[in-house]
Structures are given as structure tokens and as C-alpha cells.
Structure 1
């Protein structure tokens, strides 16, 4: 259970003063005015820490240390961030200065922070993304209705089959929103290029990396604010960009040794001398499941000529669902293993990361397929930063139908 620390509302008296108390070096201060709550509590979340903020006469003040030049925090209606709706949380980018927050208790997302340059930049990017989203209101409403349908069905104890059917509806709803998301990604990338020194550009780049090639990502990185690159976020982004060099055509395929779905030992080297298509998928991934009939046709066509398929599933915490999906989809005709994702018991702290097959191929979206040649060198990547399935089909035809 998270420890909740009560912040003393030291500024109630200060606000009554004509001259505000000077800010100490290395600190930030937020003077808050709350609409919709006269007296009560709100929560400041700097994950995993949660502080209780006392609201008195519709006002509060937070003063605390800030470790970096910019820090992302959340103001929320409850201490559990993971269970909150959009209107119950406000995302803030704070800086070591005095800032003002107009907090809307009825809809936290409509709150307004002033005095932070980084937050101003975030509002500019938000405006661009919202203008794009405004053209897809019908699609968003449909998407929201399907998600609500799934939530209600789950609460009512619907069967796995019923929930799976709704997941397919969800996938269709997502498909209708793909054009919106694609335009938002393009607009965000342009914002990054136009505002390379902004902290928001650094923060936004993290979610763009998977769609970039290494040289493009590296060129953008070199334009960013050097001071921000020294932060934990910056170091993480540098590391993520370097990972773009693995799991791509021309790179050596990472070897691994694990246990297959039948409990037998399996390693990538077992396939040396053959072409092997590594299919990264999951039982809960609808696009993966929908693509299995096509994979079966490819396997039946090219396996007699030497193609092997190895399924690597992201179902380490759902072995039964993994095995049921393999059986239901009829894909037990090829090899299957789990990715090797492990957490320290009772936490979300990852362990044994060197055994995670997906990490060793820089897998960040499902489905993604990696085609490895007989010499252990990757010859194709499809989905997840690579080419599409049409390109995969063409490559397999080139390899097996011209020989």
C-alpha cells in the first residue's frame, strides 16, 4: 500500500500577505485555487509517492524539492492513479519556480497551470492534437461505447467467449481511429522537430521512437536540449534509440534458450541452416489472432520447402489462455514459447531481463515478425517498426518460389 504523506498547507497564511515568501533554490511552489471544492483533500502523485494536499477555503499551496529541471506530476481526485478516469486527473510539468494552478474539481483535465514554460508547450501540443481529434468524434464515441460495453460485461461475469467477441469489436473500433492516431503522430513529430529544445519534445519523442528508423531518431536526438538528455527520461530515450539497431535486417539474431509449450528445451540455434519466422504475438492481441489463418497458409505452403515458424507469446502470466489460443487457432503445427517476462513477486519490478526474448529483438508492438536466415542474420522485420505483411509475403515468395 502506498504511503500517503500529508502536506502542510503552509501557504494559507502566506497568501494573506501582500508579498509572497521567496522560493528556496531547488524548490518549486504551486499556489492552487480549487473550483468545486471548498474544503477537503486532493492528491499529488509523483509515482510511486502520493501526497495528500489539504484544501482550505478553496485554496492550497504545495512547496517541495525538485530534482530535475522539469518534473512530471499528477494532481488527482483519489490516490490510485491507475483506476482514475480522464476527468479525475491533471497532468502537470513543473519547474523550479512559483506557479499557479486553477484546479477544476469537477473535471481535473480542464485545470490550468501557469508559470511553467514546459506546461505552456504541452498546452500548445495538446491544442494541435485536439483539433485533429475533433474531426473524429463519431469514431471516438463508438470506441468509447465498445470499451464501456466490455467493462460492463466483465463486471457482469461474462464468459471468456463473450469477452473475446467484444475484443474483436474493440479492434474494429480501433481501426476506425487509426487515421486520427496517425495524423496525431505526424503532428507530434513535426512539433518535436519545430521545438527541439522543449522538454515536451523530449517527452513526446519517447512515444515516437518505435515508428522511426535509427538514423532519423538519432538526427532528432542530436537537436534536443543537452541538459534534458542528462535526466533519467533523457537517458532512457537515448537507450531506446540505441535499441533500434537490434532486431533489424542485417543484424545478428539474438540467440536464446528456453522451454517450449510442451516442456521441451528449445533454442534459436536449433533452427540453424533454415529460415525461421519468429512471430511475436499474444492470446489477448486481436490483430495477432486475426492474422493466424494467413500464417497457417504460409506455413503449409513453405514449410515443406524449409520454412520454420516459432511463436513467441506475451502470455507469461496467462499460460492457460496461451495454450487455449494455440489450440483454438490451430497453430500448434509450429513451435511455441513464452517471451520470458518476469517480475519480482508482488511487484512490477522486472527481473531476469536478459532472458526476455522480446527485449532482445526490441519488440514494442504486437504482432511483429522477424525473419531469420540460415546463417542467423535477420533478413526481414514486419510490423513494429518494419515493413508490412505484403512485404513479408513477397520476401517469402522470393526465397522459396525462385529456388
Structure 2
């Protein structure tokens, strides 16, 4: 009888556990065509979690979620238009009711206490983010127009002001909502805007549950870094694998400069930089080695290599954005480039990409 009761308890426990780790996302979007593809990805690793088809703008995605709550990225693809939004949910059932005009910053997600907290921040940032996107879209159209240089500089200044305002808003949100998963995530994302001792003080105030969460672990790893590599410092040494699984030490003593490229598969500026990286790797092959490093999940990394066909060394360590390589080099945006001289010293750093920017970075050294 005891064995039967024990078995019953285990079965009930298993069912309850399965329910608590499952998610269900009900989607109802107005303005879509009769059929539309929908993709759900982990926001940071870009790992595809689920996919399906919306019929008449309606559909459901459900499955299992690890390390919940997680920041998720939802994409709707009609064949000619793409709509996206992100949200943070636990393993739970939520509903997305929106119109296409609401994407990406005004989409409402109902049914999640975690997302309710996150929505406070997103609602406050929505209008400025919409404005910034419009400024950036226009800037891209005049980027190569020599007659528009002054206007382009003005747009860059305006976007920088919006970015600065967003950081202030995020810090206020973190400090007002510290005992929440969204605040822990945002604290990690804006960590460089704090003194490290301030981050440590905020981390110590977190509950043990938040400290052990996926984003709490990222903060803990960051706090364990003694010093972020800066210009004039020796390069952080590490080992990582290439696409064939061979392990390579970095940096290798080969008497050359090294251009270290931090890249992501889904990052448009990263993809745009590939053409110039190919030119550089050929033009300076006797004096420069290009090495790319990706924090993506493995399939995304390999997919990007298949698409871009780089001729230089590409490395991956499987530890993502909270791994020692990304944290020691202080990478928070992609692409990020570091130029390392033959002695192993970082002599230049550049964040972002525009046509010709890498040639400009190298001309003082090669």
C-alpha cells in the first residue's frame, strides 16, 4: 500500500511539475493576411524555441521553457512584411492581442505578473524608441550622401541623446523594481553605466532566487571579472573551438596584428561588415589575422558561417553573453572590433559598423 501511495505521489508531482514548466502563448493580431508564419526565439541566444502558423491572425504556441522566466523574441512573417516584439514571461499561459500597427513597442501581453513589471519600463520607453527607429531609418538613407554629412551628424547626436535618456530611465526602473526578474535583466544590460561597486551593492540586495536566476548568474559572472580589457591592456587569453571542433588558443603568437571581431548571426551591421572583413583579410594577410568570435547558440553560429563563408578563423565557446570572453572584453553591442598588436596589446577598439570604418581603424597601424 505504501508503494502504491508513493507511486501516486510521484506521478502527481510529475504532472504538476510538467504544468509549471510549460508555457502557452495565445496570439490574436488584427491586420495580418489569412496565413502568417510565427517564430519564437530566446532573445539573447537567438535559439528558436517554437514556430507555427497563424490563421486569420490567430494561433497558439506552447511547449516547455527552461530557466524561466526568460526574455523572448516573437516574429511574425507574412512573406512581405515582418513584425516583432519581445516580452518576458514565466512558464505560464499568456495572451497577445494587438494590431499590426502596435508592433514592436506597443504590443500588450496579458497573463504574466513578470511581464506586467517589464511593461512599466517598456511603456515608458516606447515613444522614444519609436522616434529613434525613425531617425535611424532615415539616417541609413543618407549615410553615403556626401551632401548630407551635417544632417547625418545631427541625427547621430539626437539618437545619442535618446540612448542616454533610456539608460537613465532603465536605472530608475532597476532601483525601483529591484526584486523582480526584469530589473535583474536590465541591471545586467546597463551594468557599464554603474560603478562596479554599485552593481555589487545592488546584487547583494537581491533575493537568493533572483541571484540564482539566469540573469542573476550573468551578474555574478560579471562581478567576478577583475578588469575589463581596455585600450593599452594585454588581450584576455582564452581557448575556443572552430566549426570543426578544433581548439585554438587566443591570441596566437604569430608576429601579426589581430583584428578580433565579436559578431552575432542575426545582427544586420555584423552581416554588413563581412564584405569589408573579406577585403581586409586578403589585403593585409601578411600583417593581419582576422578572428571572429560568436556568443550565439551553436546552430545559429554555424548557420551564419554557412551564409557568410568567411575565410578567416571563427571561434565559439558555447558560453554565450555571460561567458568569460564576452565579459572580460566588455562586449555589450555587436559588432565590436578590437585591434591587437603583435605584442598582444589592445591598440584600438570600435563598436558598430559603417562602410569603410574598419579600413579607417587599421590605417594608422598597417
| Normalised TM-score (structure 2) | 0.58
Could you tell me whether the CA contact under 8 Å between 1:196 and 1:225 is conserved in 2? no
Could you tell me whether the CA contact under 8 Å between 2:52 and 2:61 is conserved in 1? no
Structure-2 residue corresponding to 1:362: 329
Taking the TM superposition and a 5 Å limit, the aligned residue runs for 1:150-161 are 150=143
Could you tell me whether the CA contact under 8 Å between 1:26 and 1:96 is conserved in 2? yes
Structure-2 residue corresponding to 1:120: 116
Shift of 1:249: 10
Q: Distance in 2 between matches of 1:27 and 1:360?
A: 31
Structure-1 residue corresponding to 2:28: 33
Taking the TM superposition and a 5 Å limit, the aligned residue runs for 1:204-215 are 204-215=186-197
Structure-2 residue corresponding to 1:19: none
Structure-2 residue corresponding to 1:99: 94
Tell me if 1:341 matches 2:336.
no
Structure-2 residue corresponding to 1:53: 53
Structure-2 residue corresponding to 1:89: 84
Could you tell me whether the CA contact under 8 Å between 1:316 and 1:338 is conserved in 2? no
Structure-2 residue corresponding to 1:216: 198
Shift in CA distance, 29/203, structure 1 to aligned 2, threshold 3 Å: same
Shift of 1:247: 2.6
Q: Distance in 1 between matches of 2:139 and 2:77?
A: 26
Q: Distance in 2 between matches of 1:140 and 1:247?
A: 31
Could you tell me whether the CA contact under 8 Å between 2:121 and 2:170 is conserved in 1? yes
Tell me if 1:147 matches 2:140.
yes
Q: Distance in 2 between matches of 1:75 and 1:189?
A: 25
Shift in CA distance, 116/254, structure 1 to aligned 2, threshold 3 Å: closer
Paired residue for 1:194, among 176, 184, 189? 176
Describe the SS at the equivalent of 2:218.
Answer: helix
Shift of 1:114: 0.8
Higher relative contact order (CA 8 A, sep 6+): 2
Paired residue for 2:125, among 116, 125, 129? 129
Could you tell me whether the CA contact under 8 Å between 1:209 and 1:217 is conserved in 2? yes
Taking the TM superposition and a 5 Å limit, the aligned residue runs for 1:2-401 are 24-37=19-32, 39-46=34-41, 47-55=47-55, 59-78=58-77, 88-109=83-104, 110-130=106-126, 137=131, 141-150=134-143, 162=144, 170=152, 173-243=155-225, 245-247=227-229, 254=236, 257-258=251-252, 265-266=255-256, 318-321=277-280, 337-338=288-289, 340-342=291-293, 346-348=302-304, 351=315, 362-364=329-331
Shift of 1:129: 2.1
Structure-2 residue corresponding to 1:330: none
Shift in CA distance, 72/55, structure 1 to aligned 2, threshold 3 Å: farther
Q: Distance in 2 between matches of 1:177 and 1:279?
A: 28
Shift of 1:341: 2.2
Could you tell me whether the CA contact under 8 Å between 2:261 and 2:293 is conserved in 1? no
Question: Residues 320-375 of structure 1, C-alpha deviation per residue, up to 9 Å, x if partnerless?
Answer: 24787x9xxxxxxxxx7556324688445862669xx98595243768899xxx9x
Question: Residues 13-67 of structure 1, C-alpha deviation per residue, up to 9 Å, x if partnerless?
Answer: xxxxxxxxxx9332222333332247423413123244113435x5433332222
Shift of 1:315: 8.1
Q: Distance in 2 between matches of 1:84 and 1:244?
A: 45
Could you tell me whether the CA contact under 8 Å between 1:132 and 1:180 is conserved in 2? yes
Q: Distance in 1 between matches of 2:127 and 2:110?
A: 22
Shift of 1:208: 0.8
Q: Which ranges in structure 1 are unaligned for 5 or more consecutive residues?
A: 1-22, 151-161, 268-277, 283-313, 327-335, 385-403
RMSD (Å), alpha carbons: 4.9
Shift in CA distance, 32/247, structure 1 to aligned 2, threshold 3 Å: closer
Could you tell me whether the CA contact under 8 Å between 1:142 and 1:173 is conserved in 2? yes
Q: Distance in 2 between matches of 1:141 and 1:179?
A: 15
Shift in CA distance, 165/280, structure 1 to aligned 2, threshold 3 Å: farther
Could you tell me whether the CA contact under 8 Å between 1:45 and 1:79 is conserved in 2? no
Question: Residues 52-108 of structure 1, C-alpha deviation per residue, up to 9 Å, x if partnerless?
Answer: 13435x54333322223312333322299xx975xx112122222332220324543
